[in-house]
Chains A and B, each alone.
Chain A
Amino acid sequence: MLEASAGFIAWLGASLVVVADGRRGLALGVATSALGMAGIAWQAAGPAAALALAAGGALAAAGRLRSGAPGWRIAPPGSTPRIVLCIGAALVASWVGLVVTSGGGAGLRFAAVVALVLAPARILWSDDPDVQLSAVAVLALGAGAASAMGPSTAQPWSYVAAGLVAAAAGWLPVRPEVRDAA
């Protein structure tokens, strides 16, 4: 039950990043997604892994509040295709997690597929660096959580790496286009 709830929260967060354009909406999406991924990681690899993902997501969300379009801007006019994408991704991820694949960890598979579909889709869709960096944070968290399916689930290093990449996506400055000779 906890795993299913965590998977749902991860989807909700990733969907918020997809449908939001304002800095608050994006930060909320990243934080929610990190919470869900941390729940998944707790189940699969213990509290250290969950803490790494949660801390990385919290840092990324805090960094996102510094820049970007002001306000929430959740589901602004014209965002119907994005909402359809979120629902479609949830359906496909449920099918993959529950029907196509077998064994335990359906919530993990659901959350991984959702993050690996929605985050890149948002990055390909948007031209706004702040939106893209929020999606990078979600992608890093999703890839980190998905490492629980790998051979060395007991080691927290992949979760720490995911948390660091997510935090960096929230705080590193973006330079404009330059023309130098280097």
Chain B
Amino acid sequence: MPPESVEVLVFAAVALVLTAVFAEPASPRRGLVVKGGVGLAGSAAIVTVPTFDIALLVLLMVGFLQAVIGGVRPFEVRLRPVVLAVALTAAGLVFARATGPEVLARFGAVGLGAGLAAMIGLLPYIHVFEGDEPVAPSPFAWLAFLGPVVATVFVARTQQELTADAWAAFGAILIGLGFLNLVWGSLATWLATSTAAAWRYSFIADWGLALCAFGLTVIDGRRAALLVLFSVTLCRLPLYLLWRHAAGERPVKDRPVNLVVAAALAGSAPFAGFAARLLLLRAATQVFWPLALVLALGMLLWLPGSLRLGRGVALPRGRQVAAVVVVLAVNAAAGLYPLPLLSAARL
């Protein structure tokens, strides 16, 4: 079991507990816990099974169950992304394992990279999105809850499957996909007409950072990836759920809490996203310094979108106050002192 995967699984469990504890009494908590618990159990199975093939089949089952539970989008639309992801990944594995010319392993790397992007719902395979869909059957389940665990498992298992040359190609593919998602996601967060769509694109932008971090294949890259996934699961997801619960209420004017939330979403100091960005830039400098320059410019694009999303969060009331305080405190703690998180993942 890759230790990062276990830790990201714990992040997902904490996010589920936070959601269940701080959800408003009027919301259907039981359904959320049951669906989230099934997703968490599936993620745990993906982490613990002994081979990549079984993990892929468990992933197919989890995606199939997610499509079966209902939602706003038709069944066939919900089913397609996971099937495409599994097919691309399985084809990548066939090419990576087959005996033949060296280029076959590189085709395998392409299939595995494309399968990862299709599974999470990143460009160029973004899932069909409906703003008013419940969270459990929506693309957010992959972007923020199942995706982080599955991605860490996929990357760790892929490293065991590919040759050194193909692994380098896989890293380059991830960096390319990551930069595409980073730029597109952050610009779309700023410019999308619907705020729900802007939230979705903000997750995609964060995933761009995570893919770049995975692709850099040095230890600082893995550290950055872990902190980005922490930020996705335990900062952006709870704040998105908070925005959903208060979607009917709109703030009259900017308040300090809106600015603090925007700072956390933008990855400013002292939150976990800042530490992740620093580590990512350090990793990029070690591998190829112009990449760090490009990434730093790309990171500036987070600001306008995050201000927009931060403004959309209404003044918290009741349990929401506690939820916002806990989320911001946990993220500040992880940003100021990330060593325990990194040590637990043996990074």
Contacts and interface: CB of A to CB of B under 8 A. Distances in A.
Interface of A: 100-103, 109, 112-113, 116-117, 119-120, 123-124, 126-129, 132, 135-136, 139-140, 142-144, 146-147, 149-152, 155, 157-158, 161-162, 164-165, 168-169, 172-182
Contacts of A126: 76
B163 to A, nearest CB: 14
A180 B61 CA distance: 23
B345 interface: no
Contacts of A176: 70, 75
Contacts of A116: 87, 90-91, 94
Question: On chain B, which size bracket covers the interface?
Answer: 35 or more
Contact of B100 (A101, A113, A180): A101
Given A143-B56, A172-B64, A174-B75, A101 B98 contact: yes
Given A149-B98, A177-B71, A182 B31 contact: yes
Contact of B32 (A127, A152, A157, A182): A182
B164 interface: no
For the residues of A in contact with B, the DSSP-based class is helix
A61 B136 CA distance: 29
Contacts of A161: 49, 53-54, 57-58
B84 A124 contact: yes
B73 interface: yes
A175 B74 CA distance: 9
A103 B83 contact: no
A150 B161 CA distance: 9
Contact of B57 (A119, A120, A129, A140): A140
A172 B101 CA distance: 42
A172 B70 CA distance: 13
B28 A136 contact: no
A180 B76 contact: no
Nearest to A135: B83
